[in-house]
Chains A and B, each alone.
Chain A
């Protein structure tokens, strides 16, 4: 099956990184590690990657980058403990444990 999405790594510099004219044409999804998902085989997506000097990654490469970041979040969450605190109280205090993210082809 032909891939429908492509990935790149690019640092979000803020204003102008994604513009209204771009997001009205293509769907963007940002992930931890400055990983960005945009449509594959799409002229507007390719132009945007070029604009932001994005480094194109394969699905596996992008997934690996996201996994490292999520693991870091999870480790920080696990290390943030209070003696005597129940699991429910922990979630109450610091929110749900960061979930794994599975990128799509």
Chain B
């Protein structure tokens, strides 16, 4: 049988007590208590209900944090904008352009919303929000829908479906604060709301589906600023899942069929299951991160749920 060192390239550290500042996932031997210990979360977290959206709608966007979120557009009321403060949603200044299933990135007070579906066809409109007012910006190169993004108002990325009929190539464009640039597309053709990341040089795309294919996607791709690279597959196909978080701490929330209500976490190398939502989120949106996420809206609902992961703690490892 392989040893721990053979598998991980390092032996288990022997510590008289516990290390003063262990890293998440760190394993050691506590010689005082004669036990193996690990520093990790003790459960898969929990969801709680949050304030209900003022206008229940689907095909919306989501960006920001659990206590400062922004959602735009959707069906119905495609120019509606709402902000969440951790307790309630407030309807704020409408967008200059209506859209459904647009892409977004940034924060509640510094966001970019672009693309989407307008009645159809797909649009390439791009708009900037400063927390109070909207401004039209230079348009995307290619109109598209089912987009999701990563990054900030001055350095973002959107990936997803493009407007060309029956190609759905996973178009990707980056934003530098002024202009959009078409970059390398996803390796796997898909329309996906499962895109997330903190910057436009470190993003993750996962799940989704291509209407031309018989099965939904399980694949995951990592973006380094130039190329998408296939990494570990998801535990199951997640058509319609919404992504939030970062490239190395990404969360997949909800979706159609068997993954309705399911939540998964990607830690930079593997996927694991998190607690399930009580709402079967489909055509919804989400934002936040892997320790404090927010899911809201979707088919016939304005329900909001807040996810919180427990803080990592030192735990004994038992072998029985």
Count of residues in B whose CB is under 8 Å from the partner chain: 28
Interface-side segment among B3-11, B21-29, B43-51: B43-51
Interface-side segment among A1-9, A27-35, A39-47, A55-63: A27-35
B276 x A30 contact (CB < 8 A): no
- In the docked arrangement, what's the CA distance between A28 and B49, Å? 11
Interface of A is mostly: loop
B299 x A30 contact (CB < 8 A): no
With an 8 A cutoff between CB atoms, is B275 at the interface?
Answer: yes
- In the docked arrangement, what's the CA distance between A32 and B301, Å? 9
Interface-side segment among B170-178, B222-230, B278-286: B278-286
With an 8 A cutoff between CB atoms, is A20 at the interface?
Answer: yes
Contacts of B43 in A (CB 8 A): 24
A15 x B308 contact (CB < 8 A): no
- In the docked arrangement, what's the CA distance between A14 and B294, Å? 13
A20 x B308 contact (CB < 8 A): yes
Contacts of B279 in A (CB 8 A): 30
B94 → chain A closest CB, angstroms: 23
- In the docked arrangement, what's the CA distance between A12 and B276, Å? 17
Contacts of B182 in A (CB 8 A): none
With an 8 A cutoff between CB atoms, is B120 at the interface?
Answer: yes
- In the docked arrangement, what's the CA distance between A12 and B302, Å? 10
| In the complex, residue of chain A having the shortest beta-carbon distance to the beta carbon of B304 | A14
**Contacts from A to B (Cβ < 8 Å):** 12-24, 27-30, 32, 36, 73, 92-93, 95-96, 98
What would 17 more interface pairs be, CB under 8 Å, given A14-B88, A92-B211?
A13-B52, A14-B51, A15-B51, A15-B88, A16-B49, A18-B47, A18-B48, A20-B48, A20-B308, A22-B48, A23-B47, A24-B46, A28-B278, A30-B279, A92-B120, A95-B58, A98-B300
**Contacts from B to A (Cβ < 8 Å):** 43, 46-52, 58, 87-88, 120, 211, 256, 261, 275-276, 278-280, 283, 299-300, 303-306, 308
Can you sample 21 A-B contacts with CB below 8 Å?
Answer: A12-B49, A12-B303, A14-B49, A14-B304, A15-B50, A16-B49, A17-B49, A18-B48, A18-B278, A20-B306, A22-B48, A23-B278, A24-B43, A28-B278, A30-B278, A30-B280, A73-B299, A95-B58, A95-B283, A95-B299, A96-B256
